[in-house]
Structures are given as C-alpha cells and as structure tokens.
C-alpha cells in the first residue's frame, strides 16, 4: 500500500502520521512525495484498527522551518480477506497474459504451452476464466476471433492447450458451466458473423464443449428468439441457475466489428437448468435487467455491456458508455466514456459507482468490471481497468504513456483498480454503495492492462 501527496511551495521534508483513536499512532519522516508502507508495519496497522476509521495526515516542512499542515484523510482497512484468488489480465503493451496476486503484489506471465500465446502476439484480450480457475478461453488474432482454450494441469502447474486457434473457427467472450463437476463441461460462446466492418450481420451465443466446440444439446437458440438480433458477452451465475449477457439491435445500427463492438446495448438475464437424463440444458425466457431509455440515439446514447455476476448472485456489475463502444469506425478515437455500474437483481435498481469508479461525462475509460470470487462479511470487491491517474506517479503527462502502446485517442496507460461494495448499503438503499478504489500493487506503470478476470487461484504462489 502506497500513500502519495502533492508538492506545495518549497517543502522538502514530510511527516506522515497514521492514527486511530487511542489504539494507533504511527509516524514516518521522509523527503520523498510517496510512502510505500513496509509490509510488517502495514500488517500491524491492519490488525490494530480493523474496520475503523483511520486518519492519515501529511505535513510538509519548508524553508525557514515553515510547517505546513495537510488536510487529514480518512481510510478504512477491512477485515474482509481476498485470499486464494488471482487476476488474469491481458497486457496489451506486451501482447501477453499476466497473473496478478493482489496480496503478494506480484505480476508474472501466465504459464502455458499454447504456441499462439507467445509474448508479442496480436490481441487475445477477450478472455474468460472458469470460476474454479481451471478453464481458460481466449480469442486470438484480434477481430479474426480465432477461439482457443486451455485447461489447468496441476502436476505441471501449467495451463495446457485444449483447443488451438484456427483461422475461420470464430468465437469470443465465453463463460463456463460453473457446475461442471456435477454435470458436463459446457461453454457459452459468442460467435460473430464474419463480415466487413460496419456491415450488416449478427453475433449469437452458442452452447459448445470447451475442448472440441461440439454442440451441446439445449434450447438456447429458441430461447434467444426473445432477445435482440445480436447477443454476446455472457456470464454464468456461480450456482448455475441463470446467465446474463449483452444484447443490441444489429439490424438497426452497424457496429465496427461484430463480436467486439456494441451500441445501445441492454443487459439481459435468462434462467438455465440441466437435465442429467438427457445431458441437456434448458433456458427460460430472457428478461431485461438494464436498458437504454426510449428514444436514445446511437451517437451518445446509453450503452450497457460486459455484465458480470456477483458471487452471491444478487448483483450484476457492467460497463456503461455513451455511444458506440469501443469504436464507431476504425478511423474514430476509442470511446473513453466508460464507467462502472451495478444493478440489483431483486428490483432492477441501477447504481452509478461514482465513489469507486467515475460518473457520467468523464473520460477515465473505466471498463471490464470483474468480481472477486468470494463475498466478505461487509464488502464485495470489483476489479476494473481504468485510465484514472495513480496519484502523481501515473498521469496523462507521465512519460510512461509513451511506452504502453496507447490506442487511438487514449491519453494514459490503463491500469487495474479495485473498489469495495458495501453489502448493507447495496441491499437496503439507493445510495452509491461503492468506496474509493485502490490501485492494485505490482503493476508496471509503463504497461497497459485490460480485461481483468478475477477467480480462484490455482497456480502456486510466485517465489
């Protein structure tokens, strides 16, 4: 955990004080404008004042002994743990998958034997990991959408290839049957038509085997007749009882890349059950969870996508942007209006996570929300990718932006952040339940991280 502060006048030395009532009072003296708390000290702070307001104050010392007191800031260290989890993320600046351990602050390459995933490959970032951390799907070679899959091999501590990407075999944005050990392996896959950019076509969900792409018996196609022409970006609830997905009318507005881009999209949920006797899945009618207001226009209108289900199934986080996402045409700048949203399934109330993300009209490019695999006593946790400044160490003016392969129109490297969701506030009110986010330790500032997938850890801890 790191604290940063701005320079004021001619300050050359600083006093950082951490206090919590009569139980905690720790002071640091330094000349730098940031303090990485020593692990043992931070552990003591966490153990001494869990779930209590902690006051952090930075005072500056200037020429002539002038003491400039800083405004106190309040933070809370939760007792809730995020143990035995890992974040699998696409590092677009190096063309490789990385594995982040939040507690250890490590960032290591994904161990795998897939030839397509050597460092420096074209974009494979539309990846998905199963909830038990053992299955991995990715879309190789950008908009060619060549689907590939991996499975974790415990004896070798490696993800081994189960399906190699092949030209012409298309698929992206998958989700896995969370009850595979009680039923059969199954993968819901987004399959886009192979058409020119900004042309007519559809993208539809398909139920297939994750290692062969063989169709699995279901009524999915019939059930999707009640959804818009294009359906994509599915997620399967942890208890296996329902799925969510994004859907939009691709016959009314032609997006840049089918399977990648969306416009005026809604979030849907659909019940699902498994019949062991017939080894088939039955889907119910789709229900709208979140939709753009009536009359919204494609340019600048509300666009909802990338839904993800909370571990307890009560909430769905998603990205909202204004207008076409991620690009309208190949010549346009990337849409940076993304913000993280939350919908309560019980009544459909939508929360704008202004505390933990950013509000409407901002250009922090916050996208790809993903829940931690477990819920705590007081909080749930959401990771996401964003261009929000990391104090003074990473801003739009930082030299690192010249090294992280920015996409057209981007102004800053995207990094990963985590916000806490207050469970009581979420369940019982209409006020934003999110808390100020923290930057995930261990990231390379001169790198770009997109699409965090947060799931149960299966890899041995980095040495």
Q: Are residues 273 and 204 in the same domain?
A: yes
Q: What is the mean pLDDT of residues 419-434?
A: 98
Q: Are residues 200 and 94 in the same domain?
A: yes
Q: Is residue 363 part of a domain?
A: yes
Confidence of residue 426 (pLDDT cuts 50, 70, 90): very high
Residue 224 pLDDT > 90, yes or no?
yes
Q: What was the pLDDT predicted at 216?
A: 99
154 close to 213: Cβ distance less than 8 angstroms: no
Exposure letters 362-372 (e unless 16+ CB within 10 A, then b): bebbbbbbbbb
Domain boundary among 19, 43, 76: 76
What is the separation of C-alpha 335 from the centre of its chain, rounded to a whole number of angstroms? 17
pLDDT tens-place string over residues 101-116: 998 899 999 999 999 9
Domain boundary among 55, 76, 97: 76
Numbers of helices and strands, H then E, in the chain = 3, 31
Give the containing element (helix H, strand E) for 26: strand 24-30
pLDDT tens-place string over residues 276-326: 999 999 999 999 999 999 999 999 999 999 999 999 999 999 999 999 999
Q: Is residue 440 part of a domain?
A: yes
Q: What is the mean pLDDT of residues 205-230?
A: 99
Q: Are residues 19 and 164 in the same domain?
A: no
Q: Are residues 70 and 114 in the same domain?
A: no
Confidence of residue 78 (pLDDT cuts 50, 70, 90): very high
Q: What is the mean pLDDT of residues 123-147?
A: 94
**What gap in Å lies between CA 178 and CA 264, rounded to an integer?**
29
Confidence of residue 241 (pLDDT cuts 50, 70, 90): very high
End-to-end Cα separation, the chain, in angstroms: 20
pTM above 0.85, yes or no: yes
CATH code, domain with 225: 2.120.10.30
Q: Are residues 159 and 24 in the same domain?
A: no
DSSP-assigned states of every residue in 320-369: EEESSBS-SSTTSPP----EEEEEETTT--EEE-TTTS--TT-----EEE
Q: Are residues 194 and 245 in the same domain?
A: yes
Question: How high does pLDDT run on average in the chain?
Answer: 96
187 close to 134: Cβ distance less than 8 angstroms: no
Domain that holds residue 49: 2-76
CB neighbours of 365 closer than 8 A, spacing ≥ 6?
334, 336, 337, 338, 385, 386, 387, 410, 414
Confidence of residue 122 (pLDDT cuts 50, 70, 90): confident
pLDDT tens-place string over residues 427-462: 999 999 999 999 999 999 999 999 999 999 999 988
**Rama region for 65: left / alpha / beta (φ>0; ψ in -120 to 50; rest):** left
Q: What was the pLDDT predicted at 103?
A: 84
CB neighbours of 276 closer than 8 A, spacing ≥ 6?
183
384 close to 368: Cβ distance less than 8 angstroms: yes
Residue 463 pLDDT > 80, yes or no?
no
**What gap in Å lies between CA 162 and CA 150, rounded to an integer?**
5
Q: Are residues 312 and 371 in the same domain?
A: yes
Confidence of residue 130 (pLDDT cuts 50, 70, 90): very high
Confidence of residue 212 (pLDDT cuts 50, 70, 90): very high
Domain boundary among 49, 76, 103: 76
Structure tokens at 142: 């950008």
Q: Are residues 233 and 363 in the same domain?
A: yes
- Structurally, the chain folds into a number of domains equal to 2
DSSP-assigned states of every residue in 110-163: PPB--GGGSTTPSP----EE-TTS-EEEEEESGGG-EEEEEEEETTTTEEEEEE
Residue 228 pLDDT > 90, yes or no?
yes
Q: What was the pLDDT predicted at 7?
A: 84
Percentage of the chain beyond pLDDT 90 is 93
Give the containing element (helix H, strand E) for 40: helix 39-48
Q: Is residue 462 part of a domain?
A: no
CA-CA-CA-CA dihedral for 193, 170, 292, 197, to nearest 10:
-50
Maximum C-alpha span of the chain: 84
pLDDT tens-place string over residues 349-395: 999 999 999 999 999 999 999 999 999 999 999 999 999 999 999 99
From residue 453, alpha-carbon distances to 24, 46, 224, 371 in Å are: 36, 27, 26, 8
Confidence of residue 9 (pLDDT cuts 50, 70, 90): confident
């Amino acid at each position: 955990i790191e604290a940063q502060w701005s320079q004021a006048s001619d300050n050359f030395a600083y006093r950082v004080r951490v206090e919590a009532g009569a139980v905690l009072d720790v002071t640091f003296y330094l000349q730098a404008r940031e303090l990485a708390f020593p692990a043992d000290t931070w552990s003591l702070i966490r153990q001494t004042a869990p779930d209590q307001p902690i006051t952090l104050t930075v005072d500056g010392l200037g020429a002539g002994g002038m003491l400039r007191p800083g405004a106190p800031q309040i933070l809370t260290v939760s007792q809730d743990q995020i143990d035995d989890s890992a974040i699998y993320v696409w590092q677009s600046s190096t063309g490789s998958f990385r594995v982040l351990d939040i507690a250890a602050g490590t960032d290591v390459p994904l161990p795998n034997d897939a030839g397509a995933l050597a460092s420096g490959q074209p974009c494979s970032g539309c990846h998905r990991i199963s909830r038990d951390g053992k299955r991995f799907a990715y879309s190789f070679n950008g908009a060619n959408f060549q689907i590939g899959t991996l499975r974790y091999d415990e004896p070798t501590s490696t993800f081994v290839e189960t399906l190699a990407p092949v030209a012409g075999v298309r698929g992206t944005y998958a989700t896995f049957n969370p009850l595979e050990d009680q039923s059969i392996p199954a993968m819901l896959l987004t399959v886009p038509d192979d058409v020119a950019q900004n042309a007519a076509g559809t993208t539809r969900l398909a139920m297939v085997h994750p290692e062969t792409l063989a169709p699995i018996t279901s009524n999915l196609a019939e059930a999707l007749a009640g959804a818009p022409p294009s359906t994509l970006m599915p997620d399967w609830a942890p208890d296996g009882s329902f799925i969510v997905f994004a859907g939009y009318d691709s016959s009314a507005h032609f997006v840049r890349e089918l399977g990648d881009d969306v416009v005026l999209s809604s979030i849907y949920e659909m019940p699902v059950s498994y019949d062991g006797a017939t080894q088939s899945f039955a889907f119910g009618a789709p229900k709208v969870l979140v939709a753009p207001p009536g009359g919204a226009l494609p340019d600048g209108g509300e666009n909802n996508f990338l839904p993800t289900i909370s571990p307890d199934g009560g909430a769905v986080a998603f990205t909202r942007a204004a207008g076409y996402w991620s690009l309208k045409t190949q010549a346009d700048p990337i849409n940076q209006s993304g913000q993280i949203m939350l919908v309560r399934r019980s009544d459909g109330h939508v929360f704008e996570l202004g505390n933990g993300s950013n509000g409407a009209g901002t250009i922090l490019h916050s996208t790809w929300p993903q829940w931690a695999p477990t819920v705590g006593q007081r909080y749930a946790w959401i990771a996401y990718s964003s261009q929000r400044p990391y104090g003074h160490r990473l801003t739009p003016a930082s030299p690192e932006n010249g090294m992280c392969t920015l996409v057209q129109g981007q102004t800053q490297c995207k990094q990963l952040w985590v916000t806490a969701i207050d469970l009581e506030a979420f369940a019982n009110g209409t006020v934003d339940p999110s808390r100020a986010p923290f930057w995930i330790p261990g990231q390379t500032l001169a790198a770009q991280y997109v699409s965090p997938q947060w799931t149960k850890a299966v890899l041995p801890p980095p040495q």
